[in-house]
Chain A
Amino acid sequence: MSQEKVSIIIDGEEVGAAPGQTILLAASEAGIYIPHLCYHKDLSPGGHCRLCTVKVNGKPTNACTMEVGRGMVIENDTEELNLQRRHLIEMLFVEGNHICPYCEKSGNCELQALSYRLGMLAPGYPYLFPRKELDASHPDVYIDRNRCILCGRCVRSSREKDGKCVFGFEGRGIKTRLAVNSARGLSETEMTAADRAASYCPTGSLMLKRVGFKMPVGTRLYDRKPIGSDIEEKRE
């Protein structure tokens, strides 16, 4: 027998959710897109990007970790929240050194796609122009920290999907950086081109070598449809 559904309201619409489900998952299943970046459906939530912040009974809450509860009234697609989400995207753009026009990931990049979806024209904050390291030591995979947004997807997927621990973090505050499980670079870790971890990077930071332009720009995933369309199509 299936467990009884929990009824919640998202932007005025009643949604039935399984008990124990997160708000983000319940919304997705109902065809409601809650913008997110560090979250991936295959992985445990990270809580880094805060893009999926919704208001639950008026209180800002993380949709990727918060479980549904009876009587929750949730605001998601509001002007206020979308503006705040855009600000977070702007922060990520000035924190790194992003090169959309000639980035290999352009068109498949979730950061870029979200900036389009949320209406960012240019970041409203001053660029920080940090100096970031590149790790090209590995024969098949490279890390370009200029484009790393510290979402931790590689950290989690390496552990959860590959049963390894290739990635981690180091430092704190604005100096936080993606680290690898070796003193010398990615080539000295257990990373292989077949690792699932290589496929979860939302930006052009962790990339396979020699396949970057296999698919022409203009025909890529988010060139065709805005991010979130796959979820919203469930409604029609």
Chain B
Amino acid sequence: MAGESSLLISKLVEDYKRDESRLLDIVREVQAAYGAICEDSIDQIARELGIPRVRVADMVSFYSFLSRTPKGKCVIRLCNDVVDKMHGLEEVARTFEKALGIRVGETTPDGLISLEYTPCIGMSDQAPAALIGSLVVTSLKPADVPGILQAIRREEGKIGQRGLFPNAEVRQNLRQGGPVFSAPFESGVALRKALNMSPEQVIEEITQSRLRGRGGAGFPTGMKWSFCRKAKGEHYLICNGDEGEPGTFKDRYILAETADLLFEGMTIGGYAIGAREGFLYLRGEYEYLWAHLEQALARRRRLGLLGRNVCGREGFDFDIRIQLGAGAYICGEESALIESLEGKRGAPRDRPPYPVQKGYRNQPSSVNNLETVCCAARILEKGAEWFAALGTRESSGTKLLSVSGDCRQEGVYELEYGVTIHKLLELVDGCEAQAVQVGGPSGVCVAPKDFGRKISFEDIPTGGSVIVIGPKRDLLAIVKDFTEFFAEESCGWCVPCRVGATLLVKKLDKILEGRGTAADLEELKELGNTVKLMSRCGLGQTAANPALTTLQNFPDLYKKRINAEPFIPAFDLPGAFSEFAAVTGRKFKLEDEQ
């Protein structure tokens, strides 16, 4: 085995042309082949690439799909998102544990199966869901577990992409189509129109359409492309397909159903900014879509829509490479994504300089959401005026929303900007909601009094996640869940996010246990403000949003949970003495202190 893995590593390093920026690909393949990247492998990869081993170890320890200790041949990752919990994850997890005789986090003694939890895998509309290897299974029920385990055992853990299971099906759940994503699309039409214009004219067309970034921040796309084009150097177009915001699955729809529109938009973007190379960063959870996407790229190359002299246009060479991630929410942050693309840990950079000045390999790079470039393709096809007439003044066009949670019509909706939350709840049949989480955990928890507010950049922006929270849910437990997610996904680079997110969880714990006082609510708010104000990137700056937006919009929920005592210590003194008590047989009582 050792000799075998050593040969594989040498071959991989050779295949990737000793390019250290492909380190993520190399370690992913070692992980896939051997279920771990052991210390010897780390040494060998470092030696053959000619980089310090601490860099390889860093990479392996950062991404959640990579492991230094051996895992089972087949890893079952149960998605433990809030929505999965709403729809019966607990029962499914207990059934797996019982059937396997192990706990979540462990591997069966025969080394065949590991059972783990993983954050949102983009299947909230068909939860509970899980990844088995890279295969997705959806709408799990406890009764499905024996069939799944039987199939894994029969195949001796080698599942690959084959659908051997019940539930190995991803439904796209498009509930309402719209003009951008559901209209017929002919490959090359928008691109040829673009190529008949100068790059500056293409950018002008996008500017006229008032298209803004669909990831949530809403930066004007025309301006971004213009900045990038004007910056000197080798230009890169990078498409962010790392949708990791819990409750988001609209990119899944794009990748599966409108990949051609996506690649057309990327090519247009590449032409506009003067790039020769584009990247699609695909989240590791969507590995099952990879082959399909490569086919779409191959088809476009055959049609002359990618490669040398695109569409016969002399001097415009452009191609796209797909980079697969390995399980890190933070890589959805544009500068962290670039770091990951360069084969490093996904730690965000300090900005400025912005990626449009110094991005991938310190060259001008435009990082765009995939929905954004799809819109750009349509704008070239149908004109800026057509697009600008949709939506609102500040937010032109439509938005793909992924709606899940306590509603009967969960799925993907393409709606014009400006739709009210109330209207949306009617569409999805979830009108009894006590709250709606718009924009995922990093967004806003909206109370019924605000259901008249509009989804738009000027009112409530969202990258696409909408989670409906029904009347019977414990909202504060959901707040804690979201905050734990941020603590887990913090990259650890800066103090306020690394430590602050963990402290937020502790504070919420205290309040949820009924040991919180009025002072704790004040401290929660103050801590939240520190994390928000002082953190380095968007993750930290929004990690306190679940607590802060519910403190603001649902103050009574907190007041109901707090204790009337003026002060209750966070430190559990009797707990700390429990070992002492067990050894000596003496009981520790607080009164002893007095």
Query: Which B residues touch A171, using CB under 8 A?
Result: 61-62, 492
Q: Does A175 contact B (CB under 8 A)?
A: yes
Query: Which A residues touch B468, using CB under 8 A?
Result: none
A182 touches B53 (CB 8 A): yes
18 pairs, CB–CB < 8 Å, chain A vs chain B? A50-B536, A65-B350, A88-B496, A88-B534, A91-B500, A95-B498, A126-B506, A126-B570, A165-B54, A168-B57, A170-B54, A170-B62, A172-B345, A172-B491, A173-B488, A174-B502, A176-B491, A181-B53
- CB of A107, distance to nearest CB on chain B (Å): 23
A91 touches B503 (CB 8 A): yes
Q: Does B550 contact A (CB under 8 A)?
A: no
Q: Which residues on A are within 8 Å of B, measured CB to CB? A: 45, 47-50, 53, 60, 62, 65-67, 84, 87-88, 91-92, 94-95, 124-128, 149-150, 165, 167-176, 179-183
Query: Which A residues touch B494, using CB under 8 A?
Result: 47-50
Name the residue of chain A whose CB is nearest to the CB of B500: A91
B499 touches A95 (CB 8 A): yes
Q: Which residues on B are within 8 Å of A, measured CB to CB? A: 39, 42-43, 52-55, 57-58, 61-62, 328, 330, 345, 350, 352, 487-496, 498-503, 506, 523, 526-527, 530, 533-536, 570-571
Query: Which A residues touch B493, using CB under 8 A?
Result: 47-48, 176
Identify the 4 closest CB pairs spanning chains A and B, nearest first: A176-B492, A168-B54, A91-B499, A165-B52
B58 touches A168 (CB 8 A): yes
A47 touches B536 (CB 8 A): yes
B487 touches A88 (CB 8 A): no
Name the residue of chain A whose CB is nearest to the CB of B576: A129
- CB of B513, distance to nearest CB on chain A (Å): 13
Query: Which B residues touch A50, using CB under 8 A?
Result: 494-496, 534-536
Distance between Cα atoms of A65 and B53 in the complex (Å)? 28
Name the residue of chain A whose CB is nearest to the CB of B536: A47
Name the residue of chain B whose CB is nearest to the CB of A50: B534
B495 touches A88 (CB 8 A): yes
Query: Which A residues touch B571, using CB under 8 A?
Result: 126-127
- CB of B244, distance to nearest CB on chain A (Å): 14
Within the complex, which residue of B43, B57, B352, B501 is in contact with A179, where a contact is CB–CB below 8 Å? Answer: B57
Distance between Cα atoms of A126 and B501 in the complex (Å)? 13
Distance between Cα atoms of A173 and B498 in the complex (Å)? 5
Asked if A181 meets B54 with Cβ closer than 8 Å, knowing A60-B534, A91-B500, A174-B502, the reply is yes
B503 touches A125 (CB 8 A): yes
Chain B CB count within 10 A is highest, among A45, A67, A173, A176, for A173
- CB of A65, distance to nearest CB on chain B (Å): 4
Name the residue of chain A whose CB is nearest to the CB of B534: A50
Query: Which B residues touch A172, using CB under 8 A?
Result: 61-62, 328, 330, 345, 489-492
A88 touches B530 (CB 8 A): yes
Chain A CB count within 10 A is highest, among B43, B495, B527, for B495
B499 touches A179 (CB 8 A): no
Name the residue of chain A whose CB is nearest to the CB of B349: A47
A84 touches B534 (CB 8 A): yes
- CB of B580, distance to nearest CB on chain A (Å): 16
Query: Which A residues touch B352, using CB under 8 A?
Result: 66-67
Asked if A128 meets B502 with Cβ closer than 8 Å, knowing A47-B536, A66-B352, the reply is yes
Chain B CB count within 10 A is highest, among A87, A127, A150, A171, for A87
Query: Which A residues touch B506, using CB under 8 A?
Result: 126
A92 touches B499 (CB 8 A): yes
Distance between Cα atoms of A226 and B111 in the complex (Å)? 58
Query: Which B residues touch A49, using CB under 8 A?
Result: 494-495
Distance between Cα atoms of A66 and B349 in the complex (Å)? 12
Distance between Cα atoms of A167 and B58 in the complex (Å)? 11
- CB of A48, distance to nearest CB on chain B (Å): 6
- CB of B504, distance to nearest CB on chain A (Å): 10
Query: Which B residues touch A91, using CB under 8 A?
Result: 495-496, 499-500, 503
Within the complex, which residue of A62, A95, A181, A182 is in contact with B536, where a contact is CB–CB below 8 Å? Answer: A62
Distance between Cα atoms of A126 and B573 in the complex (Å)? 12
Query: Which B residues touch A60, using CB under 8 A?
Result: 533-534
Name the residue of chain A whose CB is nearest to the CB of B51: A165
Query: Which A residues touch B487, using CB under 8 A?
Result: 173-174
- CB of B489, distance to nearest CB on chain A (Å): 7
- CB of A55, distance to nearest CB on chain B (Å): 9
Name the residue of chain B whose CB is nearest to the CB of A47: B350
Query: Which B residues touch A128, using CB under 8 A?
Result: 502
Within the complex, which residue of B58, B492, B503, B530 is in contact with A173, where a contact is CB–CB below 8 Å? Answer: B492
